[in-house]
A and B are shown apart, each in its own frame.
Chain A
Amino acid sequence: MTLAIETIDLRKTFAKTHAVDGISLQVARGAVYGLLGPNGAGKTTTIRMLATLLRPDGGKALVFGQDVVAKAAQVRNRISLTGQFASVDEDLTGMENLVLIARLLGFSWRDARQRATTLLEAFDLAGAAVRQVRHFSGGMRRRLDIAASLVRAADLLFLDEPTTGLDPRSRNQVWDIVRAIAGQGTTVLLTTQYLEEADRLADRLGVIDHGRLIAEGTSRELKQSLGGRTLHVRLADPSRAEEARSLLQAALGGVHAGHEPGLLLAKVNDDERVPAALSALAGSGLAFTEFALAQPSLDEVFFALTGRSAEAKGEEEAA
Chain B
Amino acid sequence: MNQAFERALSSGPAPAAPGGWSAAVTLAWRAMLKIKHVPFQLFDVTVFPIMMTLMFTYLFGGALAGSTGAYLQYLLPGIVVQTMVFLTVYTGVGINTDIDKGLFDRFRSLPIWQPAPIVGALLGDLARYALAALVVLTVGFILGFRPEGGIVGVVLAVALMLVFASAMSWPWIIVGMLVRSPESVMTTSFLFLFPLTFVSNIFVNPDTMPGWMQTVVSVNPVSHLASASRGLMHGNVDAGDVIWVLLASLVVTAVFAPLAMRMYYRER
Contact = CB atoms under 8 A, between A and B. Distances in A.
B174 to A, nearest CB: 20
B217 to A, nearest CB: 39
Interface in B20-43: 22-23, 26-27, 29-30, 33-34, 37-38
Given A85-B102, A115-B11, A181-B9, A77 B111 contact: yes
A81 B1 contact: no
Contacts of A119: 8
Given A73-B111, A121-B4, A132 B14 contact: no
B267 A54 contact: yes
A87 B30 contact: no
Given A91-B38, A104-B26, A152 B33 contact: no
Contacts of B112: 104-105
A104 B107 contact: yes
B108 A53 contact: yes
B110 A105 contact: yes
B30 A105 contact: no
Contacts of B6: 180, 184
A83 interface: yes
A19 B110 CA distance: 25
A207 interface: no
A309 B109 CA distance: 34
Contacts of A52: 108-109
Nearest to A80: B109
Contacts of A148: 106
Interface residues of A, number: 51
B33 A153 contact: no
Contact of A121 (B8, B22, B102, B108): B8
A107 interface: yes
A107 B4 contact: no
A84 B111 CA distance: 20
A92 interface: yes
A137 interface: no
A274 B87 CA distance: 75
Interface in B33-75: 33-34, 37-38
Q: Which secondary structure dominates chain B's binding surface? A: helix
B216 interface: no
B8 A176 contact: no
A177 interface: yes
Given A91-B34, A180-B9, A53 B14 contact: no
A150 B110 CA distance: 12
B205 to A, nearest CB: 42
A11 B199 CA distance: 51
Nearest to B116: A104
A213 B70 CA distance: 75
Contact of A184 (B9, B12, B26, B111): B9
Nearest to A119: B8
B105 A106 contact: no
B26 A103 contact: yes
B37 A76 contact: no
Nearest to B108: A53
Contacts of B1: 176-177, 179-180
Contacts of A107: 15
Contact of A153 (B7, B14, B23, B101): B14
B16 interface: yes
A29 interface: no
A106 B16 contact: yes
A84 B10 contact: no
A76 B109 contact: yes
Given A52-B109, A73-B111, A104 B9 contact: no
A101 interface: yes
A79 interface: yes
A135 to B, nearest CB: 11
A129 interface: no
Contacts of A55: 267
A293 interface: no
A35 B212 CA distance: 64
A152 B11 contact: yes
Contact of B103 (A51, A89, A93): A89
A90 interface: yes
A151 interface: yes
A101 B8 CA distance: 15
Given A54-B267, A150-B8, A100 B106 contact: no
Interface in A98-147: 100-101, 103-108, 111, 115, 118-119, 121-123, 132
8 contacts: A73-B111, A83-B102, A89-B30, A96-B33, A106-B15, A118-B8, A122-B9, A176-B1
Given A53-B108, A89-B34, 4 more contacts: A91-B38, A106-B14, A122-B4, A153-B10
A-B interface, 3 closest residue pairs, ranked by CB to CB distance from nearest: A87-B102, A122-B8, A106-B15
